[in-house]
Amino acid sequence: MDMNFTPEEVIFRNEARSFLADRLPDALAAKVKGGKRLGKADYELWHDRLKKRGWLAWHWPAEHGGTGWTPIEKHIFEEECVAAGAPRVVPFGLNMLGPVLIKFGSDEQRSHYLPRILNGDDWWCQGYSEPGSGSDLASLKTKAVRDGDHYVVNGQKTWTTLGHFADWIFCLVRTDSDCKPQEGISFLLIDMKTPGITVQPIITLDGEHEVNEVFFEDVRVPVGNLVGEENKGWTYAKYLLTYERTGIAGVAFAKSGLAHLKQVASRQMKGGKPLAQDPLFATRVAQVEIDLMAMETFNLRIVSAAQHGGVPGVESSMLKIKGTEIRQEITDLLRRALGPYAAPFVPEALDAGYNEPPIGPDEANPVASQYFNMRKVSIYGGSNEIQKNIVAKMMLGL
């Protein structure tokens, strides 16, 4: 039993910290911490700074331009990034497609796409869910039919996060319908500029545009854009879903959310005293803090096992469930901490250039929207109920 970081890991943490202090613009960190809206340029700027330092592709081996970091180094870097208020690394190209291409792609695909992902030439999005295929993803119907040197794709993808920024989409498509659903799926790379693709925004309950619907009508995709073998896409998709999920618990996000909650509670007043001193509210905060402390250790147990060569399995599902519950609880308390001022809905105030005086405390503006937005985390990436099914099957043999 040794719960300490090694001296080298401590040095690495300090390096990460000074890099962030030096290269993360204050204005960008303020936007992230203040819950303001981020544009494509914000993400691109941050990707570029990380890339120049060689720290953009955490999940890639060094030979492909990645960091080659250990699980603990990734954990440390993510913690420092979130604490400093860095924007998240947009995961689709870097954390999802990259590892799939490295493992299953052809040499040509690797040498073409990987540098373009690193350089920010291509912005990727993910084409998995469909209107009729949510938790039951393998039932997907978007069809790809071989026609000479092309696949012809027809169908619809949905919940496509940041698809409106994307140049390319990696898609799960049906190439065989006469077999078990999982065995007729292929993994296809599609240029979003191809004729026949339409992107339509979906406005979520917080009034924001983050996700989209993507329609495919006779879209011709060169067969060279198939990853791996035809009808083996489900294997690659599962690999992508379970790959490198050391961050799945969202410990760093929860910690920074809790710190923010405590600050807000120390500024909000109740009966002439800070809300933080209200016994009922203080114990609610204490309860989620205790859960978070335990989950942080739980997460470190898994990260450390991965560091020693273990492969995280159902633990990822458990961390996903607990991590999302905790993050939802924190945003719930944050919303309640603001009292009546959680109600005003001024979406323009989330833009950086907004100059009107805030209604109520400035920190009140995003909290209700964030709370509603956070309902997604127990739904996406395999809903928490699906995660429970996975644990029941894999760990308990039920």
* Comparison of 167 and 296: residue with beta carbon closer to another protein: 296
Largest CA distance in the chain: 76
Residues of the shown chain interacting with another protein in the complex, contacts defined by CB under 8 A: 1-6, 9, 72, 276-277, 279, 282-283, 285-287, 289-291, 293-298, 300-301, 303-305, 307-308, 315, 318, 321-322, 385, 388-389, 391-392, 395-398
Q: How far is CA 86 from CA 150, 186, 245, 254, in A?
A: 41, 35, 20, 15
Report the nearest approach of another protein to the CB of residue 330 (Å).
Answer: 15
Report the nearest approach of another protein to the CB of residue 16 (Å).
Answer: 17
Q: Is the dihedral of CA 36, 331, 47, 228 positive or negative?
A: negative
* Comparison of 1 and 41: residue with beta carbon closer to another protein: 1
Q: CB burial class (10 A; 0-12, 13-18, 19+) of residue 387?
A: buried
Give the active site residue among 244, 315, 329, 363.
244
* Comparison of 89 and 306: residue with beta carbon closer to another protein: 306
Residue matched to tokens 């944050």: 334
CA distance 77 to 68: 13
* Comparison of 117 and 292: residue with beta carbon closer to another protein: 292
- Lookup: tokens for 330: 């924190």
* Comparison of 4 and 355: residue with beta carbon closer to another protein: 4
Q: At what angle do helices 314-337 and 384-394 cross, to 10 degrees?
A: 150
Side chain identity at residue 12, one-letter code: F
3-state SS of 182-215 is HHHEEEEEEECCCCCEEEEEEECCCCCEEEEEEE
Instruction: Give catalytic status of residue 244 as yes or no.
Output: yes
Report the nearest approach of another protein to the CB of residue 242 (Å).
Answer: 17
Report the nearest approach of another protein to the CB of residue 12 (Å).
Answer: 13
Report the nearest approach of another protein to the CB of residue 89 (Å).
Answer: 24
Active site (catalytic) residues: 244
